[in-house]
């Protein structure tokens, strides 16, 4: 009897095992790749769950991707001219790229950060820093366009930027390279003790987001690499990693790696704000540009400011402390609770985590190890919360999932490592392909991350994609972090260098995305709101063409009386009031880009005709079945000709 039972039981067991496998289609038994594909497949017509704003690094721009699909939706021009969208080419946006050094058509765009309210991402604006000619830009997420750029004086290699406090009170801009402040002609070798590093706090007006430099903290001449604000309990503080506390000015790869520990500078900005509001600080003459794009006039203006308020940390006791951190730390990351400050010491074997609570206690009880130029250095042991022992090589940046886990990228060992806050134990690791830099969890710099995905951004791809000559794409990799183990779901190519990213659920942004600009709200000084108002006006050698466009004609489309040597401004208004009907326009021989004009918007390009003839212009953005018919002619006569100025549509010029 027993002998008969055994095989039956075994058989039954096997059957149960098989049927349970078959019933559970979500099982991870085999077919991992297909389940990964399902997780990133957004079917045609469906929308992605998250927006990811990935900086383009040396491209100077900000790209907009969807997650989990990895699809690219838009490249928002920020610091670099973009002929596709006439950014920095049309008359309206040229002022956006103005600086105290004149017009600069490029920058190095690094760290996007999304605005916050009450410590949570609110999806209103993205801020991003220009490294090279220090600037902070603001992108409005109702139009996905750059609407403000402020230059940062007394700064160089504006890198510990552009992170926002938890109510977007400030966006911070720290200098990576210290310089003479104010600038002067002096020997480079006299760097030590003479060069300074400025940490700039830019206030953000709550309603419209207008930026203004509130104060600059003039710090010792270290390199201020990255930063993050305190939150929750530590709201009111800001933390900056430093390297080159050696103050070397040559061969930094050796000379700036001498000290076993550099510092995280802890700045009590609320204390400094109070000091400044009560009349503290010193006004310093300093030129910097402030460029603002006005949505109602569809135009930007650039103002050169003349002075900036500087603060000496020694004048505000209790405002700045230094936390020793091994070694040449890069990322400076604060967990969602605001208690833990992670120093990603790129030359250290371990990850160092400081405790905000212990820091306050050490300050109160003066547990200091000395000072640097008068700024107190807190005892390392008295601020240390814990150490993640030998998690990998070259720790760079840590993000948090809001469930007690931290995720750190390791550049040299090319991996993402998951570890637990408070126990400091490593629980998982996944390789990156290759040389990962920063990573992003949606809602990363906030009290409330959405710990579903982590996006790792790689500097090098080697053999991962089809080759494209010596320069190959850089990439991002998406991991599912909803379970105990990270699962690699997707690799996708990116624009430029995907240096850093910020992300949030699409629903925070999608409903507020603008569809058209209302014609009646267009206050551009050269707007033409109906075809009846189109005209051509001569003023000496300057000619203004007031032109309109609608599917599928320009008005006027025949113009005569233009002469060689004229400066002709085409002010073109798109009369459409329907979603997704932009028009373009370009003119043969114009030394500029096309215009790409949204419904209800006016843009201007300048044309200086150099040759007699009849020259065509046409619509560059396929707009209707009659797009090919959307064209016109300008007759150019000799400089001394007396061809009368005339224009028409639909009838010949007689």
- Residue 405 in contact with other proteins, rule: CB under 8 A: no
Q: Is 640 helix (H, G, I), strand (E, B) or coil?
A: coil
Beta bridge partners of 64: 53, 74
- Residue 625 in contact with other proteins, rule: CB under 8 A: yes
Q: Which of 5, 251, 466, 532 binds other proteins (CB under 8 A)?
A: 532
The Cα–Cα gap between 456 and 490 comes to 10
- Residue 641 in contact with other proteins, rule: CB under 8 A: no
Residue burial 442-476, b: 16+ Cβ < 10 Å; e: rest? bbbbbbebbbbbbbbbbbebeeeeeeeeeebbbbb
Q: Is 189 helix (H, G, I), strand (E, B) or coil?
A: helix
Q: Which of 413, 552, 643, 648 binds other proteins (CB under 8 A)?
A: 552
> Which of 300/550 has CB closer to other proteins?
550
- CB of 528: closest distance to other proteins in angstroms? 10
- Residue 577 in contact with other proteins, rule: CB under 8 A: yes
Nearest to 77 by CA among 101, 39, 51, 106: 106
- Residue 606 in contact with other proteins, rule: CB under 8 A: no
CB-based contact 237:229 (threshold 8 Å): yes
Phi, psi of 32 (to 5 degrees): -60, -45
Residue labelled with tokens 């200091």: 368
Pairing of strands 282-294, 145-151: antiparallel
The one segment of 39-47, 118-126, 458-466, 545-553 that binds other proteins by CB under 8 A = 545-553
- Residue 628 in contact with other proteins, rule: CB under 8 A: no
Beta bridge partners of 491: 477
The Cα–Cα gap between 54 and 63 comes to 5
- Residue 531 in contact with other proteins, rule: CB under 8 A: yes
- CB of 543: closest distance to other proteins in angstroms? 23
Q: Is 174 helix (H, G, I), strand (E, B) or coil?
A: strand
Q: Is the dihedral of CA 57, 59, 62, 66 positive or negative?
A: negative
Who contacts 71 (Cβ-Cβ below 8 Å, separation ≥6)?
42, 48, 65
- Residue 648 in contact with other proteins, rule: CB under 8 A: no
> Which of 64/572 has CB closer to other proteins?
572
Q: Which of 551, 608, 633, 646 binds other proteins (CB under 8 A)?
A: 551
Nearest to 126 by CA among 171, 160, 158, 159: 171
User: What Cα–Cα distance (Å) separates residue 296 from each residue in 92, 147, 197, 523, 602?
Assistant: 12, 12, 38, 5, 10
Binding mask 486-525 for other proteins (x = CB under 8 A): ------------------------------x--xx-----
> Which of 52/597 has CB closer to other proteins?
597
> Which of 426/581 has CB closer to other proteins?
581
- Residue 555 in contact with other proteins, rule: CB under 8 A: yes
- CB of 578: closest distance to other proteins in angstroms? 4
- Residue 575 in contact with other proteins, rule: CB under 8 A: yes
- CB of 630: closest distance to other proteins in angstroms? 10
Who contacts 317 (Cβ-Cβ below 8 Å, separation ≥6)?
none
- What is the maximum alpha-carbon separation in the chain? 118
- CB of 577: closest distance to other proteins in angstroms? 4
> Which of 379/552 has CB closer to other proteins?
552
> Which of 506/630 has CB closer to other proteins?
630
- Residue 626 in contact with other proteins, rule: CB under 8 A: yes
Beta bridge partners of 562: 636
> Which of 529/538 has CB closer to other proteins?
529
> Which of 412/516 has CB closer to other proteins?
516
- CB of 532: closest distance to other proteins in angstroms? 6
Phi, psi of 7 (to 5 degrees): -65, -35
- Residue 529 in contact with other proteins, rule: CB under 8 A: yes
- Residue 646 in contact with other proteins, rule: CB under 8 A: no
The Cα–Cα gap between 110 and 482 comes to 28
User: What Cα–Cα distance (Å) separates residue 282 from each residue in 175, 270, 286, 344?
Assistant: 19, 18, 12, 34
Q: Which of 429, 459, 499, 553 binds other proteins (CB under 8 A)?
A: 553
CB-based contact 528:534 (threshold 8 Å): yes
Number of residues that bind other proteins (CB under 8 A): 23
> Which of 364/652 has CB closer to other proteins?
652
- Residue 375 in contact with other proteins, rule: CB under 8 A: no
Beta bridge partners of 205: none
> Which of 497/557 has CB closer to other proteins?
557
The Cα–Cα gap between 267 and 275 comes to 13
Binding mask 237-266 for other proteins (x = CB under 8 A): ------------------------------
Q: How many residues does the chain have?
A: 654
- Residue 24 in contact with other proteins, rule: CB under 8 A: no
- CB of 576: closest distance to other proteins in angstroms? 6
CB-based contact 69:43 (threshold 8 Å): no
- Residue 576 in contact with other proteins, rule: CB under 8 A: yes
> Which of 551/606 has CB closer to other proteins?
551
CA angle, residues 545, 548, 550, in degrees to nearest 5: 155
- CB of 550: closest distance to other proteins in angstroms? 4
How far is C-alpha 84 from the chain's CA centre?
Answer: 20
Q: Which of 393, 472, 581, 612 binds other proteins (CB under 8 A)?
A: 581
> Which of 35/577 has CB closer to other proteins?
577
> Which of 405/522 has CB closer to other proteins?
522
- Residue 367 in contact with other proteins, rule: CB under 8 A: no
Which burial class, exposed, middle or buried, applies to 62 when counting CB atoms under 10 A from its CB (0-12, 13-18, 19+)? Answer: buried
> Which of 471/654 has CB closer to other proteins?
654
> Which of 35/143 has CB closer to other proteins?
143
- Residue 578 in contact with other proteins, rule: CB under 8 A: yes
Nearest to 134 by CA among 111, 113, 112, 154: 154
Residue labelled with tokens 């401004």: 569
Give the residues lining the site for other proteins (CB under 8 A).
516, 519-520, 529-532, 548, 550-553, 555, 575-578, 581, 624-626, 650, 652
């Amino acid at each position: 009897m027993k002998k008969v039972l055994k095989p039956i039981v075994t058989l039954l067991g096997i059957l149960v095992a098989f049927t349970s496998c078959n019933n559970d289609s979500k099982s991870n038994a085999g077919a991992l790749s297909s389940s990964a594909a399902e997780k990133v497949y957004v079917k045609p017509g469906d929308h992605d769950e998250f927006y990811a704003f990935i900086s383009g690094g040396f491209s100077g721009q900000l790209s907009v991707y969807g997650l989990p699909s990895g699809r690219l939706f838009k490249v928002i021009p920020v610091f670099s001219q973009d002929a596709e969208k006439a950014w920095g080419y049309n008359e309206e946006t040229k002022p956006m790229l103005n600086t105290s050094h004149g017009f600069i058509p490029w920058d190095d765009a690094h760290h996007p950060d999304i605005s916050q309210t009450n410590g949570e991402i609110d999806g209103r604006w993205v801020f991003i820093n220009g490294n090279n000619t220090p600037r902070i830009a603001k992108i409005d997420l109702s139009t996905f366009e750059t609407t403000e750029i402020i230059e940062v004086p007394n700064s160089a290699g504006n890198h510990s930027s552009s992170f926002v406090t938890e109510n977007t009170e400030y966006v911070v801009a720290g200098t990576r390279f210290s310089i003479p402040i104010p600038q002067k002609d002096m020997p480079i070798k006299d760097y030590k003790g003479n060069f300074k590093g400025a940490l700039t706090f830019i206030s953000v007006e709550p309603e419209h987001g207008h930026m203004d430099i509130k104060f600059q903290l003039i710090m010792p001449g270290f390199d201020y690499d990255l930063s993050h604000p305190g939150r929750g309990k530590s709201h009111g503080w800001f933390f900056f990693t430093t390297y080159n506390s050696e103050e070397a000015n040559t061969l930094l790869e050796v000379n700036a790696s001498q000290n076993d520990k550099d510092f995280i500078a802890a700045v009590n900005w609320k204390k400094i704000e109070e000091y400044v509001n009560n009349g503290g600080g010193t006004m310093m003459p300093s030129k910097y540009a402030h460029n603002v794009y006005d949505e109602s006039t569809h135009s930007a203006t650039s103002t050169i400011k003349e002075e900036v308020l500087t603060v000496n940390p020694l004048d505000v006791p209790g405002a700045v402390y230094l936390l020793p951190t091994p070694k040449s730390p890069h990322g400076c990351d604060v967990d969602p609770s605001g208690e833990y400050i992670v120093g990603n010491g790129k030359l250290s074997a371990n990850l160092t985590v400081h405790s905000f609570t212990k820091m306050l206690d050490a300050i109160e009880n003066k547990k200091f190890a000395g000072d640097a130029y008068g700024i107190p250095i807190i005892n390392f042991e008295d601020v240390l919360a814990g150490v993640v022992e030998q998690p990998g090589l070259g720790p760079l940046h840590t993000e948090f999932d809001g469930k007690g886990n931290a995720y750190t990228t390791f550049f040299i060992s090319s991996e993402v490592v998951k570890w637990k806050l408070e126990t400091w134990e490593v629980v998982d690791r996944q390789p990156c392909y290759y040389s990962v830099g920063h990573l992003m969890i949606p809602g990363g710099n906030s009290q409330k991350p959405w710990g579903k995905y982590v996006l790792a951004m790689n500097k090098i791809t080697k053999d991962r994609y089809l080759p494209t000559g010596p320069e190959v794409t850089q990439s991002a990799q998406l991991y599912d972090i909803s379970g105990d183990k990270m699962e690699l779901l997707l690799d996708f190519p990116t624009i430029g260098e995907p240096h850093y990213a910020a992300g949030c659920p699409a629903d925070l942004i999608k409903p507020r995305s603008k569809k058209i600009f209302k014609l009646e709200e267009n206050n551009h000084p050269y707007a033409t709101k109906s075809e009846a108002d189109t005209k051509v006006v001569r003023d000496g050698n300057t000619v203004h063409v007031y032109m309109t466009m609608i599917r599928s004609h320009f008005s006027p489309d025949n113009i005569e009386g233009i002469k060689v040597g004229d400066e002709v401004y085409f002010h073109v208004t798109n009369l459409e009031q329907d979603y997704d009907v932009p028009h373009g326009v370009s003119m043969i021989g114009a030394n500029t880009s096309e215009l790409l004009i949204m419904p209800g918007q006016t843009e201007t390009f300048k044309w200086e005709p150099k040759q007699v003839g009849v020259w065509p212009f046409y619509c560059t953005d396929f707009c209707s079945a009659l797009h090919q018919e959307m064209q016109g002619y300008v007759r150019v006569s000799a400089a001394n000709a007396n061809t009368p100025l005339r224009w028409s549509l639909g009838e010949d010029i007689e």
